[in-house]
Amino acid sequence: MEPETYRFIQQREDLWRFIRLNPEWYRYLTRNPSRIGELETEAKHFYGKTLPQRMAKAQQNIQMIRLLMQMAGSWND
């Protein structure tokens, strides 16, 4: 792997862990270092950091809060 690519990955803990869990990416980057952008995209999907995934998580949290508020309201009755 090119030294610049390796340093970039070492600086980003999330990418480092992603490569450790998906070693095929080490091979991809060794053969073609310009795929670093694809690596970042795949890592975002893996860790749930894309906008649709974050929105879905926020909606789940809102639904959980509503459920808890309904439960608390029923206890007061």
Higher pLDDT, 77 or 38: 38
Residue 37, domain extent: 3-75
**For residue 14, which of 55, 49, 38, 54 has the smallest C-alpha distance?**
49
- Helix or strand holding residue 16 (H, E): helix 13-21
pLDDT at 1: 82
| pLDDT tens sequence across 23-69 | 999 999 999 999 999 999 999 999 999 999 999 999 999 999 999 99
Q: What global pTM score does this model have? A: 0.73
Residue type, 23: P
Whether 11 has a pLDDT exceeding 90, the answer reads yes
Q: How many structural domains are present in the chain?
A: 1
